[in-house]
Amino acid sequence: MVDEVLARSFENIGDEYDRYRPGFPPQAAKIIIPSPVDSVLDLGAGTGKFTRLLQKHAQRVIAVEPSVPMMSVLQRTLPGVDARRGTAESIPSADSSVDAVTVAQAFHWFDRDSACAEIARVLVPGGTLGLVWNRPDPTCAWDLACHRIAHPAVSETDATADTAAEELPGFTLVRQEQVRWVEHITRDHYVRRWSTISSVIVAEQDRRDEMLAAVDDVLDAAPQTSGLPEFELPHLTDVFVYRRS
C-alpha cells in the first residue's frame, strides 16, 4: 500500500528536487523507445528529469505530474513539452492516444491496478510502457551506507524496482536491462540531495539533522570521499519494458 505522507512529501520542493536529484542515462530512454514514435507520455514526470531525454525519441512529448511546484519547474525548463496536471490513476489524455508511456522513479507511488488500467487506456494497442529506477551500485560501500541511513527499512537491492518485474495487469514484460553509469558530484550537492528524499523530508527537524550529520560522517570516513570537494558516484538504472496486452 502506498504511504500517502511519503508520496505527497515532494509537493513543495520542485526547485530543490530538480537541482539535487540525479538524472537518468540517455540509454534508458533508448531501451524503451529504440525507434522514433509519434507521441510519448511521461507519467509522474516531476521536474522533467526523464522527460527531457524523450524529446529525441518522439515528435510529441506529454508530461503528467500532480505537483504544482514540480510542474512549474518542468514548464520553465522544457517549454516544448505538453505539460498537464494529473495523476497516474486519472491521466488527462484520450483513449489510445499515445505510443508509449514512461514512468521514472515514480511507479511505486501509484495505486498499481488503477494506474495500469489508465496507462492501458491511453496507450495504442500494442503500445509500450517503460518503468525506470535509479538505485545505488552495490559495489559502492559509502553510498550504500548513506542509503541505509535514509532508508533503514529498504533492502539494498531496492524493493521498489524489484516489484516492477511482477506481472502487471494488462501488460506483458518484454525486456529488462540494467545500465551502469557514473555521476561527477560535489560533496555539498551529494549531502543536499539527501534532504530531498521522502523519508528525510517528513522527519522531525532533529531527526533530519541527525541523518544528514550521519551522511557527513560516512563521507569523512570513506577513503573515496574523505577530504574531497567532489567525487565520482556510481549508479545502476533498472529499465523494464512492457507491451500493452
Question: Which CATH number fits the domain that encloses residue 51?
Answer: 3.40.50.150
Pick the closest to residue 122 from 87, 147, 82, 95 (CA basis): 95
Pick the closest to residue 28 from 110, 171, 184, 133 (CA basis): 133
19-56: per-residue pLDDT in tens? 999 999 999 999 999 999 999 999 999 999 999 999 99
Q: Which pLDDT band, with edges at 50, 70 and 90, does 153 fall under? A: low
Q: Is residue 199 part of a domain?
A: no
| Structural domain count, the chain | 1
Q: What is the pTM of this model?
A: 0.88
3-state secondary structure of 63: strand
Q: Is residue 88 part of a domain?
A: yes
| Alpha helix positions (H), 84-167 | 112-122, 141-150, 159-162
Q: Is residue 93 part of a domain?
A: yes
Q: Is residue 146 part of a domain?
A: no
Lowest mean pLDDT among 9-23, 190-204, 223-237: 9-23
User: Between these two residues, 153 and 117, which has the higher pLDDT value?
Assistant: 117
**Which domain does 111 fall in, by range?**
4-136+156-181+236-244
